[in-house]
Amino acid sequence: MSETSHPSHTSPNGIVVAATPLGNLADASPRLIDALSTADVIAAEDTRRVRSLATALGVTLRGRVVSNFDHNERGRAAELIDAARSGTVLVVSDAGMPLVSDPGHALVAAAHDAGVPVTCVPGPSAVTTALALSGLNVGRFIFDGFAPRKQGARRQWLESLRGETRAVCFFDSPHRVGTTLADAAAILGSARRAAVCRELTKAFEEVKRAPLGELAQWAADGLRGEVTVVIEGAADANPGAEDVATVVGQVLQREEAGERLKDAAKELARANGIKAGELYEAALAARNRVR
């Protein structure tokens, strides 16, 4: 079945996916306020949160408010699709854009299949906000949801990113982010640049940009608040580092500091997106020339 895009204006009936503020209420758009006040049904990740948001914005919800979260959205889809045939169903998550590691996909996919109009009220997103604030090369990026909780799965996921040349953005628990960063430093290289963004748009917003090794130490005891991480792509971690000669000096410096030449070459190769064997041989040759 072919899929057709729909107009960007709010339809008199259909599904409307709307972004809500991450924390700063001033980020609520006029379109969001209008959608909240006029929707016939509001499908919310947390009904209490959307009612609190409406109160804070001075909006009266005239529509029926129903829950639409991870564990009930598939079962709820048919009911909401039926409601969208004759009215407007507004879909919101607790913060940011629905469907981006939040509920909404099952409903939007079902709406397309059923020929029900779908449109979007764009707005805040932790992903694009973190990318913009990271100060890293994020012209090409991937978003990978939440970092895996278990170490085995997390390390396997990080291994898959070893040669990824695009920046990767992901969410993490404030209690586990230190461990995630330590694993990332071990697998991707402690020199790979990254940024940890927490409490975006809120009073205690903080962005810490540094090599992964430094970030792992900084976050070792955990952080507070919502956390979004951006790790620079392998080819971008050190511009020009794909040239082995530019990294050889770093390998020799680390050997002089007491590290095994092979270990230093392996880690710096990971961090710079080059072959470990090639870097090791070049560093060995350079060391022999010096001697």
DSSP calls for 80-94: HHHHHTTSEEEEE-S
Residue 243 pLDDT grade (very low, low, confident, very high; cuts 50, 70, 90) = low
pLDDT in tens, 61-111: 999 999 999 888 888 999 999 999 999 999 999 999 999 999 999 999 999
Tokens of 7: 């107009």
Neighbours of 34 (CB within 10 A): 14
Residue range 164-186, pLDDT digits in tens: 999 999 999 999 999 999 999 99
Which amino acid is it at 93? Answer: S
CATH of span 127-236: 3.30.950.10
Contact criterion met (CB below 8 Å) for 28 and 21: yes
Question: Which CATH number is 14-124's, of 3.40.1010.10, 3.90.226.10, 3.40.50.2000, 3.10.310.30?
Answer: 3.40.1010.10
Q: Residue ranges of the domains in the chain?
A: 14-124, 127-236, 245-290
Please give the angle made by the CA atoms of 161, 162 and 163, to the nearest 5 degrees.
95
- Beta strands across the sheet bearing 141-146: 141-146, 167-172, 227-231, 193-198, 206-211
Q: How confident is the model at residue 239 (pLDDT cuts 50, 70, 90)?
A: very low
**Identical topology for domains 14-124 and 127-236:** no
More confident residue, 222 or 250: 222
Read off the pLDDT of residues 260-285 as tens digits, 9 standing for 90 and up.
Answer: 999 988 888 877 777 888 888 888 88
**8-state DSSP, 195:** E
Which H, E and C letters describe 149-187, residue by residue? CCHHHHHHHHHHCCCCCCEEEEEECCCCHHHHHHHHHHH
CB-CB contact of 63 with 90 (8 Å): yes
